[in-house]
Amino acid sequence: MKKTLLDYTLKVRLPITLFVVALAFVVTFYASRAERDGVGYSPDQPINFSHKLHAGEMNIDCQYCHTGVTKGRHALVPSTNICMNCHTVARKDRPEIIKLRDYYKDNKPIPWKRVHKVPEYAYFNHSVHVNYGIKCESCHGDVRSMEKIEQVKDFNMTGCLNCHRHPEEQISYIKNVKKGPENCWTCHR
Amino acid sequence: MSEIKNNKKSSDTKFWKGLRDYYDDPEILKIKANEFNDGVTDNFDPDELSGISRRKFIALLTASAAFTATACTDYRDKGEIVPYSKRPEEILPGIANYYASTCKGCELECGILIKTREGRPIKIDGNPEHPVSKGKICAKGQASILNLYDPDRISHPYIDNVKSSWKKLDTEILAELKKASENNKEIAIVSYRINSPSTYKALQQFKKKYPSANFYFYESFGEETKRKSWQLCYGTDQLPKIDLDKANIVISLDSDFLSREGNFIENTRLYSTRKDIMKSPDFNRLYSIEGGLSLTGMNADIRLRLKPELQDEFILSLLNELLIKRKVASIPSGNGLYSLINKYNLENFTRKQGWEESKINSLVSDLLENKGKSIILAGNTLSLNTHVLANLLNNVLGNEKLYDYSSANVLVTKNNDKESWKNFLGNMNDKKVGVVIHFDSNPVYELPSDYNYANSLKNVDAVISLSELPSETTGLSKYIVPINNTFESWGDSFTRSNVYNLQQPVIAPLFNTRQKEAVLLTWTDEKLKYSEDLYHKFLMQSFKDDIYTKQNPSSDFKSYWYSSVHDGFVELPTESTSYKFNISALNNIKVVSKKSGMSLHIQPNYFVGNRKFSNNGWLQEIPHPVSKVTWDNFAAVSFATANKLGLKNNDLISVEVNNTKMDLPVMVQPGLADNLLVVEAGYGRENSGTIESGVGFNVNKFLISDNLNFKYIFENVKVDKTGKTYKLVSTQEHNFLNEPDLRDFHKIRKIIFEGTIQEYKKDPKFLLPEEKVLHGITREHEYKGLKWGMAIDLNKCTSCGYCVAGCNVENNIPVVGKEQVAVGREMQWMRIDRYYSGSPDDPEVSNQPMLCQQCDNAPCENVCPVNATNHSPDGLNQMVYNRCVGTRYCSNNCPYKVRRFNFFNFRDHFADAYYENDLTALVNNPEVTVRSRGVMEKCTFCIQRIMEARQEAISEGRELKGDDVKTACQQACPADAIVFGDINDPESEVSKYRNHDIGYLVLKELYVKPNVTYMAKLRNKNSGEV
């Protein structure tokens, strides 16, 4: 029987095209996963603030600045007046602190780049987690050693459920830890 | 004891949703059979669809997916977090603050708590500590938050309709004022009656500077007639609080005291304490004798239909029966009372009206048995005669015991009488008036039409209007002075003689507006510069002079002031006085016998009000409590009258009263008195906001003055058919169930269970049939621990609809507009179903708030192809918007029809995206998702409030309890008819309701296991014997 162009297309060209497309998709999908999930995201901030210096070396408690963390949904990036508690006297001559002081003096809020974000349709609540005894580093990583803040864990639904389903692996430091709720309205409403 | 003859057992009642339903109108049968309303698919045209073939579309989709995947090589920008520079100490982002203030929506002056998030007010609740309103406010008060963010607000001063500056405005107005006072011309300030002592002080200060200034106060639907009758009968115009909780018998003569008259918030609370089956089965009994079918009438245990102009005759006949025949009290001599009432006879009157004798016998015997424990309430729109006679009736029955003058209404200013208005109008016409200042009022729209106010205004040199929104009056003004919204203003007021309120601003003015009192103050003194705290200081001084010094508290002024502002009110000591009935009040009573032609009764409307709420989409869209009509007013006529005149729904009729003609659409309303048109005012606005313009008909044109400023009842009304029609939109005929189909399921399918309190007292289990064991076909989930449930007590519920308003605000419910309601796409998560039973002429009405029942075996869940709706372990039927793809299978499968679908992005779709702007977006509750197109939604039992309570419980290290949470509808209910909590806790209030003998589940036999319990309505039918 004569081979027609159609046969060739169906038997050879189509499978090859499909294979290439699928392979390209799969490779890109996995290769770009971290970026899509935001893992490793570490944008430049308007002021070079070092968590390593403040939280690590000086051992300032997280809640000194992130005041909302036990009270409500938002942990809160500190308002500039909290920085100025110390920096009205401390290290006044450093270039980054001069930047800070200028923001404060002009009453201009500092536009910090957002690093950690859950989608807007998820209502994550800091206080229920922190008041339950979960440590900040369980989600945010070892911030005390970060010169520049960076996302180290997945901030997607798999990440949330991983811990809600297997808390004994993820947050083993809490004794008799109970599973977290898994129903939709826990986060979405 | 009399007993009303009723051959039917109450449980036999067949319920019907409307007249067309009752008569099995073929159109209704069609609606019942079809899933979609007519016209829903009209706009769908397959030819208009895109020409791209399915294959091509998929090819494009694949290609773009591949491109997107390869493009994902860099991190997405996640935006910024911008913290405060200097965070105000009291603000913690994400946590709400509450500020006590006073609602300025009407003259009731209820205490409110304003919920603010990050400095923007988002919800208004009642202040639970307020001594009169006790944490409850009406629909208007709750929806008033939308007025703050109304894009139609006047944002700049205007001179001759040209945008101007405050400086220019002030200079020109000061010149006008100076000119007027130099030429000795009158300066008139026209305002609503004022309840605020400090505002009145500011006005007086103005008069001091301009001695030719005069004030004119008015209210178009107020208690003026009642006050006049009190003046005549008791020599005081202070109306007392009425202890409705002590009244065994309440008789309403065309008085809608549960929703439109008196302090209806307090009335509802007091009245419903006597309909509380959990406390006592000794219910009060409500008789309603009325022409229209009002909300109070719907709740009446016994209802009689009577045209409003015949109320005098009825009271006189009743007086004749009580005084002459039954000799309840001696007739005072030396006045014409005996000869006045001797002519009348109750039996004849009853026969003439065609009333059931048993009903009127029951009324008479109830009054005789409950002397001093009954109350007769006359409606605000009735004549002065009727009010005086009603006072006499209360007097002879000893019911004045229920008047509490220690908490009386205070008149800071009185309404001007007709004579002084006529003088003023004459002065205007004679060009003796230099300046007219409309002090936040709209007289062009509201004053009686025979005053011809708009015409007279043309003879005034300068017309100034202080207003928030454009109106009929600002349209005729040279100077338009934009003023602050109530949430941007300071203020004070009296709710009652013993309750003084303070009002505080919770947000800085959003536009270039000013506080109205401060504007007046700056006009009194050229050197006085306007500042935000000008009136604040003035108010503080006034508070110091009037309240602080008189109270003489031990604390210093500053701390007393701050604690008063914090509380929102100050309780003042008052003495309880009593007033003696002055029999000479009867001297002026002349009763003219009435003709039997058509009459017209103009009443205030339920939600929009007459003042500044008609531009509020939420309020326009809440269905009318009786007719369920939205976005319109209409002429209601009885069934018999409609038949006589050959009218049907949506016919446009021409109504002529005193040579004023107007076209009005007809709504055939069961339960109306015959030969009567009932129309509600407050619609048909012109030169006003986007929402209100063109909605309904302005029946204020009919209002004229008689010996008082306003007359509301007109006889000899001419009604003609025009042959035209006008589409009224009522939600009542939405979501019909096709009964013949369901009858096969179950013969005794009942949505409403009803009985009488007498049957209940004999056998508490009389109503509900023996428990049948029902079986499901699926494996059932066991609920351990907390499980949410709700109970709604239909005895207490008055169907006022405030729950709907509260839910709208709490849950970011969009306004969809009349066209969308017409095709059954209203978005309110809660609705009040109204069923009639009995005859269309004189039906009994049953109401039932209906919301998602959070069924254990929810039928919606099984059919969702993407599992966007499913169940939570605490018994909630969850709806997940981000998973929903909009198949609408769930809505189709819901037996209660409580799911709502976003056919559009309604904020964008409604009125050219009127509510889709940065300003109005501020009203949204940040804890609730703003739903977009293609998503199903429904009641969530206020999951955001549950989550907030859970957060609190965790931070306190305790378990979440059922009574930690109050839903928005529960909080709004003025009768406390809604209970919410943990049904797995046998001690909780909600489980007591759930296990009560009259607690039932709607459509129980479907075995969907709903979690909302309804308490069957028990009517208090016949007197005495059990």
Q: Which pLDDT score is estimated for B2?
A: 40
For range B13-35, the mean pLDDT: 76
Q: Are residues A25 and A56 in the same domain?
A: no
> Which H helix or E strand runs over A14?
helix A14-31
Cβ neighbours of B95 in A, within 8 Å: 68, 71-72
DSSP assigned state of B554: S
**Distance in angstroms (rounded) separating the CA atoms of residues B251 and B367:** 9
**Distance in angstroms (rounded) separating the CA atoms of residues B311 and B205:** 45
Asked whether residue B10 carries a pLDDT value surpassing 60, the answer given is no
Cβ neighbours of A76 in B, within 8 Å: 83, 92-94
For range B430-440, the mean pLDDT: 93
**Distance in angstroms (rounded) separating the CA atoms of residues B49 and B1013:** 47
Range of A25-34, A134-143, B407-416 with top mean pLDDT: A134-143
Cβ neighbours of B882 in A, within 8 Å: 119, 121, 188
Q: Are residues A127 and A177 in the same domain?
A: yes
Contact residues for B35 (Cβ-Cβ < 8 A; gap 6+): B892
Give the distance from residue B938's alpha carbon to the nearest chain A alpha carbon, in angstroms: 11
pLDDT for B504-515, tens place per residue?
999 999 999 999
Confidence of residue A28 (pLDDT cuts 50, 70, 90): confident
Closest partner residue to B872 among A74, A108, A183, by Cβ? A183
Does A42 fall in a domain?
no
CB contact under 8 Å between A103 and B82, yes or no, is: no
pLDDT for B630-668, tens place per residue?
999 999 999 899 999 999 889 999 999 988 999 999 999
Cα B295 to the center of its chain, rounded Å: 10
CB contact under 8 Å between A121 and B66, yes or no, is: no
Contact residues for B741 (Cβ-Cβ < 8 A; gap 6+): none
Place of tokens 């909290």: A82
Closest partner residue to B92 among A72, A123, A183, by Cβ? A72
pLDDT for B469-505, tens place per residue?
999 999 999 999 999 999 999 999 999 999 999 999 9
Place of tokens 């010094």: B549
CB pairs under 8 A between A and B: 148
Cβ neighbours of B61 in A, within 8 Å: none
B581 CB burial (10 A radius; 0-12, 13-18, 19+): middle
Q: Which of B306, B299, B381 is nearest to B626 (CA)?
A: B299
For range A100-106, the mean pLDDT: 94
Interface test with B, best of A79, A151, A152 (most B CBs within 10 A): A79
Q: Which pLDDT score is estimated for B44?
A: 75
Q: Which domains does chain B have, with CATH numbers?
A: 10-18+734-776+783-1019 (3.30.70.20), 97-148 (2.20.25.90), 158-218+412-496+499-571 (3.40.50.740), 224-407 (3.40.228.10), 595-733 (2.40.40.20)
pLDDT for B614-640, tens place per residue?
999 999 999 999 999 999 999 999 989
Place of tokens 């399921």: B745
Q: Are residues A66 and A26 in the same domain?
A: no
Q: Which residue of A has its CA nearest to B932?
A: A121
Closest partner residue to A35 among B72, B85, B881, by Cβ? B72
Give the distance from residue B566's alpha carbon to the nearest chain A alpha carbon, in angstroms: 23
Closest partner residue to B87 among A38, A81, A121, by Cβ? A81
Closest partner residue to B878 among A72, A107, A184, by Cβ? A184
Global pTM?
0.90
Closest partner residue to A21 among B66, B80, B82, by Cβ? B66
Q: Which pLDDT score is estimated for B411?
A: 86
pLDDT for B826-879, tens place per residue?
999 999 988 888 888 888 899 999 999 999 999 999 999 999 999 999 999 999
Confidence of residue B1 (pLDDT cuts 50, 70, 90): very low
Q: Which pLDDT score is estimated for B745?
A: 37
Is pLDDT larger for residue B361 or for residue A4? B361
For range B703-714, the mean pLDDT: 88
Does A110 fall in a domain?
no
Q: Which pLDDT score is estimated for B743?
A: 37
Exposure pattern of B119-154 as b/e (b: 16+ CB <10 Å)?
ebbbbbbbbeebebbbbbbbbbbbbbbbbbbbbbbb
Give the distance from residue B960's alpha carbon to the nearest chain A alpha carbon, in angstroms: 12
Asked whether residue B72 carries a pLDDT value surpassing 70, the answer given is no
Q: What is the ipTM of this complex?
A: 0.89
First to last CA, chain A: 63
Interface test with A, best of B70, B77, B85 (most A CBs within 10 A): B85
Cβ neighbours of B947 in A, within 8 Å: 123, 125, 185, 189
Q: Which pLDDT score is estimated for B751?
A: 83
Lowest mean pLDDT among B237-246, B285-294, B523-532: B523-532
Q: Are residues A65 and A121 in the same domain?
A: yes
Is pLDDT larger for residue B810 or for residue B590? B810
Does A144 fall in a domain?
yes
Does A53 fall in a domain?
yes
Q: Are residues A15 and A65 in the same domain?
A: no
CB contact under 8 Å between A183 and B66, yes or no, is: no
pLDDT for B717-726, tens place per residue?
999 999 999 9
Cβ neighbours of A72 in B, within 8 Å: 92-95, 951
Q: Which pLDDT score is estimated for B436?
A: 95
Q: Which pLDDT score is estimated for B734?
A: 62
Give the distance from residue B905's alpha carbon to the nearest chain A alpha carbon, in angstroms: 17
Q: Are residues A126 and A179 in the same domain?
A: yes
Does A93 fall in a domain?
no
Are B968 and B806 in contact by the 8 Å Cβ rule? The answer is yes
CB contact under 8 Å between A35 and B75, yes or no, is: yes
Asked whether residue B8 carries a pLDDT value surpassing 70, the answer given is no
Lowest mean pLDDT among A47-51, B386-390, B735-739: B735-739
Domain that holds residue A21: 5-31
Q: Which pLDDT score is estimated for B71?
A: 62
Q: Which pLDDT score is estimated for B717?
A: 92
Q: Which pLDDT score is estimated for B35?
A: 67
pLDDT for B884-893, tens place per residue?
999 999 999 9
Does A14 fall in a domain?
yes
Place of tokens 């966007």: B868
Confidence of residue B1026 (pLDDT cuts 50, 70, 90): very low
Q: Which residue of B has its CA nearest to A37?
A: B75
**Distance in angstroms (rounded) separating the CA atoms of residues A55 and B264:** 59
Lowest mean pLDDT among B238-242, B574-578, B810-814, B941-945: B574-578
pLDDT for A33-45, tens place per residue?
777 788 889 999 9
Asked whether residue A24 carries a pLDDT value surpassing 80, the answer given is yes
Q: Which residue of A has its CA nearest to B87?
A: A79
Give the distance from residue A56's alpha carbon to the nearest chain B alpha carbon, in angstroms: 23
Q: Which pLDDT score is estimated for B584?
A: 84
Contact residues for B775 (Cβ-Cβ < 8 A; gap 6+): B1007
Give the distance from residue A3's alpha carbon to the nearest chain B alpha carbon, in angstroms: 26
Two structure tokens written together for B368: 């005789």
Does A111 fall in a domain?
no
For range B50-78, the mean pLDDT: 75
Q: Which pLDDT score is estimated for B551?
A: 82
Q: Which pLDDT score is estimated for B942?
A: 95
Closest partner residue to A131 among B80, B878, B954, by Cβ? B954
Does A147 fall in a domain?
yes
Q: Are residues A174 and A128 in the same domain?
A: yes
For range A121-150, the mean pLDDT: 93
Cβ neighbours of B812 in A, within 8 Å: none
Residue A76's alpha-carbon distances to A114, B163, B778, in angstroms, are 11, 42, 46
Cβ neighbours of B84 in A, within 8 Å: 79-81, 109
For range B806-815, the mean pLDDT: 95
CB contact under 8 Å between A70 and B955, yes or no, is: yes
CB contact under 8 Å between B880 and A188, yes or no, is: yes
> Which H helix or E strand runs over A94?
none
Specify whether the backbone of B175 is left (phi greater than 0), alpha (psi in -120 to 50) or beta.
Answer: alpha
CB contact under 8 Å between A25 and B882, yes or no, is: no
Q: Which residue of B has its CA nearest to A74?
A: B94
Give the distance from residue B229's alpha carbon to the nearest chain A alpha carbon, in angstroms: 54
Count the domains in chain A.
2
Closest partner residue to A32 among B72, B79, B85, by Cβ? B72
Cβ neighbours of B69 in A, within 8 Å: 24-25, 28-29, 32
CB contact under 8 Å between A79 and B93, yes or no, is: no
Two structure tokens written together for B172: 């020109």
**Mean pLDDT, all residues of chain A:** 91
Cβ neighbours of A79 in B, within 8 Å: 83-87
DSSP assigned state of B711: B
Cβ neighbours of A189 in B, within 8 Å: 927-929, 940, 943-944, 947
Cβ neighbours of B944 in A, within 8 Å: 123, 189
Q: Which residue of B has its CA nearest to A181?
A: B873
Cβ neighbours of A119 in B, within 8 Å: 882
Q: Which residue of B has its CA nearest to A111?
A: B82
Cβ neighbours of B82 in A, within 8 Å: 109-112
CB contact under 8 Å between B882 and A132, yes or no, is: no
Confidence of residue B709 (pLDDT cuts 50, 70, 90): confident
For range B280-296, the mean pLDDT: 93
Q: What percent of chain B has pLDDT over 70?
A: 96
**Mean pLDDT, all residues of chain B:** 89
**Distance in angstroms (rounded) separating the CA atoms of residues B64 and A15:** 20
Cβ neighbours of B951 in A, within 8 Å: 72-73, 125, 127-128
Two structure tokens written together for B914: 């009127």
CB contact under 8 Å between A188 and B62, yes or no, is: no
